[in-house]
Amino acid sequence: MTSEPLTISNEVDPALVEEVRAGLQTIPKRLSSRFFYDAEGSRIFAEIMHSPDYYLTRSEYEILDTYKADFLRQFTPDNRPFDLVELGAGDGLKTKILLAFLESQHVDFTYAPVDISADALEGLVIDVRRQWPDLQLNPRHDDYFSALEHLSNETNSRKVVLFLGSNIGNFTPDEAVDFYQQLYNRLQPGDLILTGFDLQKHPAVIHTAYNDRQGLTRAFNLNLLRRINRELDANFDLATFDHYETYNPETGEARSYLVSQKAQAVEIKALDMRVPFQHGEIIHTEISRKFTRMQIEQLAQQTGFSMTGWFTDSKGYFADVVFER
Ligand SMILES: C[S@@+](CC[C@H](N)C(=O)[O-])C[C@H]1O[C@@H](n2cnc3c(N)ncnc32)[C@H](O)[C@@H]1O
């Protein structure tokens, strides 16, 4: 397989158009977190990953660094070549630990990062090409779900799917089951998925991670409105919206909202829409679910996978879990 040049369109994403049109007309209003990552959103998220309050990145970094040799043994026990497919790769900060290790061990593999964010993917591709010019790189600018459709017909090599950073937490329980079922249908026996799950812990630790003292998660959430202003010619006044976060330890769900601080109407010219807001009205923007080990085992069972690896950080905050098809 050869490295393909990456061509990315920077046109307005039709999925964003649909999301804004539908999401701002429902009650309660909602916008999906998958639109957070324009250039500025990706830049702010990179800062969040280094923030002292956002433990997720540090925990997963520790796991990947500590157990990289164990992961390699699981990825290719027989030293056969494999395709490392990463769904929602972002800037690949933690994946680069694995890439560096695999390269140092002269492992024969291709790396296929998938991301819906052109900006995130472009940055990652430039970085990987600079650090490892000989690595077989097959980036795909795509949604997880349409990328899954191409999984089975790309090569005959074994697939190892990375789904890091607790991206899985952005799904509802039903969506998570559907996602792993789709993966099950597209993978071959012996293929693997390595998923990063954020675990349930003291609620205050979780709440602070999404409500950090530097105000980064606040800026990240509000940036979604800035993106809509720019791409859809809207006039959200960011000073009149606030960031609000909840964590419910009974459901394990952290939720992010934007709150209108006054009664107002926002014009979205590209969609010919006028969106009224009551004082205090919310837009729900993100769900970040936290898991117990039992829930993760159930997810494997329900979707037909065997759980063959369980790795946690020293605080027990996060788990990287291997499912085998
Ligand atoms: C929270 S970041 C995590 C990045 C990386 N996995 C990590 O652990 O650092 C989520 C990434 O997933 C991408 N993403 C979110 N929803 C997606 C979707 N439906 N399809 C493809 N990529 C998506 C975003 O653009 C973003 O780069």
User: Residue 207 — very low, low, confident or very high, per pLDDT cuts 50/70/90?
Assistant: very high
pLDDT over 70 at 186, yes or no: yes
State residue 9's pLDDT score: 52
User: Residue 4 — very low, low, confident or very high, per pLDDT cuts 50/70/90?
Assistant: very low
pLDDT over 90 at 191, yes or no: yes
Compute the distance from residue 262 Cα to the ligand 1 centre, in Å: 32
**Ligand 1 pocket member 143 (CB < 6 A):** yes
Q: How far is CA 206 from the centre of its chain?
A: 17
State residue 292's pLDDT score: 98
Q: Whole-number mean pLDDT of the chain?
A: 93
Domain boundaries, the chain: 47-202+291-324
* Pocket probe mutation, ligand 1, options 115, 216, 224, 320, max atoms within 8 Å of Cβ: 115
Give the CATH H-level superfamily of domain 47-202+291-324. Vaccinia Virus protein VP39 (3.40.50.150)
Is residue 95 exposed (0-12), middle (13-18) or buried (19+ Cβ within 10 Å)? buried
Compute the distance from residue 39 Cα to the ligand 1 centre, in Å: 13
State residue 5's pLDDT score: 47
Q: Which whole number is the average pLDDT over 187-193?
A: 95
Residue with the smallest CA separation from ligand 1 atom 11 is 88
Q: Which atom of ligand 1 is nearest to the CA of 49?
A: 9
State residue 153's pLDDT score: 64
Residue with the smallest CA separation from ligand 1 atom 7 is 165
Residue with the smallest CA separation from ligand 1 atom 12 is 88
State residue 263's pLDDT score: 98
> Tokens 């004082």 — which residue?
279
Compute the distance from residue 243 Cα to the ligand 1 centre, in Å: 21
pLDDT tens-place string over residues 69-106: 999 999 999 999 999 999 999 989 899 999 999 999 99
* Pocket probe mutation, ligand 1, options 93, 117, 318, max atoms within 8 Å of Cβ: 117
Q: Using CA atoms, how far apart are residues 270 and 29, in angstroms rounded to an integer?
A: 19
**Ligand 1 pocket member 88 (CB < 6 A):** yes
Is 306 in contact with 324 (CB distance < 8 Å)? yes
Q: Which whole number is the average pLDDT over 225-251?
A: 97
pLDDT over 90 at 151, yes or no: no
Is 176 in contact with 300 (CB distance < 8 Å)? no
1: tokens are 């397989």
Is 258 in contact with 283 (CB distance < 8 Å)? yes
Task: Write the DSSP assignment of 5-50 as a string of letters.
Answer: PP----SPPHHHHHHHHHHTTSSSEE--GGG--SHHHHHHHHHHHT
**Ligand 1 pocket member 165 (CB < 6 A):** yes
State residue 301's pLDDT score: 97
pLDDT over 50 at 3, yes or no: no
In this structure, of 41-50, 153-162, 191-200, the range with the lowest mean pLDDT score is: 153-162
Q: Using CA atoms, how far apart are residues 220 and 224, in angstroms rounded to an integer?
A: 7
Altogether, the residues listed in the chain come to a count of: 325
Angle at 312 between CA 98 and CA 180, to 5 degrees: 75
